[in-house]
């Protein structure tokens, strides 16, 4: 890659970026930008959970088998996995803003189309396409959030804030489902899908006010554009002689690969250890947490023996628990760190899933444990969602998020199918205990990987830490 001729400009931009990163106070515009980006997860939460309530009506109306029910619930997750993988690559190449300015336009179209389907195949196609749009937004938004969040509170803004938005979206979807169940009846699911277009349209309009990520612009050698972006987000240009020394040398910035990078670069030195840790944790933890999400109404109805309306109300309590867990994470994640939080989450979820297996005949206790599971799941998600974003450099950041969260969405999709199919083939107790047991090695792995903890570190510091660790070992 050619070295930019304006090295001084790049140096100045990197110095401003360091000040932007370490700012104690944020401007209203910066907070507004963080909120608008995170609100994409409200749309994600609404759409991915609304199917849980819809399935209670679709199963008898479309005469769905247990396998078809699971596939419909999983369709959006598999679509999201594809969207994450494809647009993780695109986002690193063309920029964060260029991608998410348009993706929700497609969401509006597919959400409305979902309301008019007439059979299983049409609905499955719409769910997969909606998932692809959601995956696109995750790859872009999670990366963007990390790049404009202050260093000392990056976990709260990048990890926990999107989870708060996600759980609110999930909760709203269930409130909408309950209201429509009581007013529209058997056709309520059509309105549930169509109404998802409204928040997507609001977010789409609001995001047009957001500038491009200054960190991505610096990595592209676009110093003037980066300065303009930081200025719009509230950074006052430093006076000459008072700039912070750049955290990364100008030569390193200039030589960073851009369009030449690929997914394989994620696993090359100096990123190998941190990348594997991030992708394994974020990719496989949903094995433990997925039973608390989209499939919860199905489990409460067919295992907890609650009626359809009672199952939706029980799911609302689960998401209230999830909201509490996300808020607790917002307040604590930058104190106790991402990896310890992840371990607490998966160990606690294992205990909850074992208790669920023991309480299938006790509806009240069953729902109560499910609420605790929701709180633990989203407390942990607030931590591990941020790991691929924080542990990889700018030119690979969206790819890392695409690969890690793409794997996670695929695992959630598989689990959403596994639970009803497993209940039918093996029974609820062994199915849920086997899923819960996956949390034990994941929690141990998270604790063993604490040397990679990104709390309070600059976004591009992790590679140098890995190199220094390797060099010390060689000596």
Q: What is the pLDDT of residues 17-29, one digit of tens each?
A: 788 888 778 888 8
Closest CA to 438 of 298, 281, 326, 272: 281
Alpha helices in 156-303 (DSSP H): 161-183, 188-195, 197-206, 214-219, 223-233, 250-255, 272-284, 286-289, 296-302
* Per-residue confidence (pLDDT) for residue 248, from 0 to 100: 43
Give me Rg for the CA atoms of the chain.
22
Give per-residue pLDDT as tens, 266-283. Answer: 888 888 999 999 999 999
Compute CA 152 distance to the chain's CA centroid, rounded to the nearest angstrom. Answer: 20
Q: Which helix (H) or strand (E) holds 84?
A: helix 66-94
CA 122 – CA 115 distance, rounded (Å): 10
The DSSP secondary structure of 52-82, one letter per residue, reads HHHHHHHHHHTT--HHHHHHHHHHHHHHHHH
For the chain, domains (ranges, CATH) are 7-474 (1.20.1250.20)
Q: Can you give the pLDDT at residue 164? A: 93
C-alpha 460/C-alpha 139 separation (Å) is 18
The span from the CA of 342 to the CA of 165, in Å, is 19
Name, in order, each residue with C-beta under 8 angstroms of 281's C-beta and a sequence gap of 6 or more: 339, 342, 384, 387, 442, 445, 446, 449
Question: What pLDDT is recorded for position 255?
Answer: 38
Sign of CA dihedral 397, 402, 408, 409: positive
Tens digit of each residue's pLDDT (9 = 90 or more) over 29-65: 899 999 999 998 999 889 877 887 788 788 888 888 8
pLDDT, tens digit, 9 for 90 and up, residues 389-448: 888 888 888 888 888 888 988 888 788 777 777 877 888 888 888 888 999 999 999 999
| Burial degree of 245 (CB within 10 A; 0-12, 13-18, 19+) | exposed
pLDDT category at 11 given cuts 50, 70, 90 is confident
Check: CB of residue 126 under 8 Å from CB of residue 117.
Answer: yes
């Amino acid at each position: 890659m050619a070295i930019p001729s304006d090295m001084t400009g790049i140096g100045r931009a990197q110095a401003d970026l360091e000040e932007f990163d370490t700012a104690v106070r944020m401007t209203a515009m910066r907070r507004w930008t963080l909120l608008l980006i995170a609100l994409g997860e409200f749309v994600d939460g609404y759409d991915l959970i609304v199917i849980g309530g819809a399935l209670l009506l679709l199963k008898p109306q479309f005469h769905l088998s247990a396998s078809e029910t699971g596939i419909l619930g999983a369709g959006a997750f598999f679509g999201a996995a594809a969207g994450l993988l494809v647009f993780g690559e695109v986002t690193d190449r063309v920029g964060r803003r260029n991608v998410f300015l348009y993706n929700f336009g497609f969401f509006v179209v597919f959400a409305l189309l979902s309301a008019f389907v007439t059979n299983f195949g049409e609905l499955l196609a719409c769910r997969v396409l909606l998932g692809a749009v959601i995956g696109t937004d995750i790859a872009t938004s999670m990366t963007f959030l990390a790049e404009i969040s202050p260093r000392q509170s990056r976990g709260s803004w990048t990890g926990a804030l999107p989870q708060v938005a996600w759980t609110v979206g999930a909760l709203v979807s269930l409130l909408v489902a309950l209201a429509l169940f009581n007013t529209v009846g058997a056709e309520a699911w059509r309105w549930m899908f169509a109404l998802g277009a409204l928040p997507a349209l609001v977010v789409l309009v609001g995001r047009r006010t957001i500038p491009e990520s200054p960190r991505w612009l610096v990595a592209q050698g676009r110093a003037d554009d980066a300065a303009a972006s930081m200025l719009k987000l509230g950074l006052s240009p430093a006076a000459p002689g008072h700039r912070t020394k750049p955290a990364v040398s100008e030569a390193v910035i200039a030589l960073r690969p851009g369009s030449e990078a690929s997914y394989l670069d994620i696993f090359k030195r100096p990123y190998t250890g941190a990348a594997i840790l991030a992708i394994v944790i974020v990719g496989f933890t949903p094995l433990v947490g997925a039973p608390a999400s989209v499939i919860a109404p199905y489990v409460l109805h067919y295992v907890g023996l609650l009626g359809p309306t009672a199952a939706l109300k029980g799911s609302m309590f689960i998401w209230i628990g999830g909201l509490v867990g996300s808020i607790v994470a917002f307040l604590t994640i930058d104190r106790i760190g991402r990896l310890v939080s992840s371990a607490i989450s998966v160990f606690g979820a294992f205990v909850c899933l074992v208790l669920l297996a023991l309480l299938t005949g006790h509806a009240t206790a069953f729902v109560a444990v499910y609420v605790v599971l929701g709180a633990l799941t989203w407390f942990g998600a607030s931590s591990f969602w941020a790991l691929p974003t924080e542990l990889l450099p700018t030119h690979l950041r969206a790819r890392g998020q695409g690969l890690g969260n793409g794997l996670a969405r695929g695992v959630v999709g598989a689990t959403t199918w596994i639970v009803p199919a497993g209940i039918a083939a093996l029974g609820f107790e062994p199915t849920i205990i086997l899923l819960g047991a996956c949390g034990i090695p994941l929690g141990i792995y998270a604790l063993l990987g604490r040397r990679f903890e990104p709390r309070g570190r600059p976004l591009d510091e992790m590679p140098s830490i890995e190199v220094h660790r390797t060099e010390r070992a060689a000596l």
